């Protein structure tokens, strides 16, 4: 298992590769970012960014989206996976923002998770990026990279992966680490054909060494 010291070393090397890592969703307001992150569940950022300009042009605020016809919202986001469920969730979330939070995105993870369509991962992402709340949101990329590097066990659940990362990475680096590791997993340590031969983390990566031995 990779130690805390080696985990930080691996993160340092990833940050050299992606020094300005940030989320790739497009938005103009905190409300729009919340909606974009909800829509990004089990979908690519690219697909969300293609749909949200039309959605936000028609319904730029919680008040507008809360009153939107479900059919209209579904039509605008139908290119995104699970669009029917997501349309219902973002309308209901907008209604709750108005009813319980004066139309503003709540600033705590606990409050945010009351919103329809907002689970732990979504709340962690939004709270970290908008309000600087220390959090690590584990998506498929972080899960894959963490297991390949043996930061956690191969059998670890999402919750266990999150706990391992939070234990081994200093708290003040959690938000940035989240974005750095996502880009590393999305563009370098890919699910298929990871770039092991050119990887600056190869000496730290048990899985990468196994892959290279097979070649």
Q: Is 196 annotated as a binding residue?
A: yes
Q: Is 69 left (phi over 0), alpha (psi -120 to 50) or beta?
A: beta
12 is annotated as an active-site residue? no
Of the residues 86, 129, 139, 147, only one is catalytic, namely 139
Of the residues 121, 129, 143, 168, only one is catalytic, namely 121
Give the residue from 66, 65, 48 showing the smallest Cα distance to 57: 65
Q: Is 152 annotated as a binding residue?
A: no
The total of other beta-carbon atoms located within 10 Å of residue 151's CB is: 26
The token pair that represents 133 in the structure block: 């709340």
The total of other beta-carbon atoms located within 10 Å of residue 166's CB is: 15
121 is annotated as an active-site residue? yes
* Binding positions: 189, 196, 199, 205
Which segments are annotated as binding site for [4Fe-4S] cluster?
189, 196, 199, 205
Catalytic residue numbers read: 121, 139
């Amino acid at each position: 298992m990779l130690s805390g010291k080696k985990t930080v070393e691996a993160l340092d090397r990833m940050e050299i590769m992606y020094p300005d890592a940030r989320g790739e969703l497009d938005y103009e307001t905190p409300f729009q970012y919340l909606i974009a992150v909800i829509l990004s569940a089990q979908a690519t950022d690219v697909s969300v960014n293609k749909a949200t300009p039309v959605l936000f042009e028609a319904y730029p605020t919680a008040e507008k989206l809360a009153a939107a016809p479900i059919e209209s919202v579904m039509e605008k986001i139908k290119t995104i996976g699970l669009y029917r469920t997501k349309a219902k969730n973002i309308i209901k979330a907008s209604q709750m923002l108005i009813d319980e939070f004066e139309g503003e995105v709540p600033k705590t993870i606990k409050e945010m998770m009351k919103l329809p369509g907002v689970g732990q991962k979504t709340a962690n992402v939004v709270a970290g990026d908008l309000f600087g709340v220390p959090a690590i949101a584990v998506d498929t990329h972080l899960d894959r990279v963490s297991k390949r590097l043996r930061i956690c066990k191969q059998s670890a659940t999402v919750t266990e992966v999150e706990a391992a990362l939070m234990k081994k990475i200093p708290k003040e680096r959690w938000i940035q680490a989240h974005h750095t590791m996502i880009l590393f997993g999305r563009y370098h340590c890919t699910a298929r054909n990871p770039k092991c031969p050119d990887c600056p983390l190869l000496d730290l990566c048990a899985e990468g060494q196994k892959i290279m031995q097979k070649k």
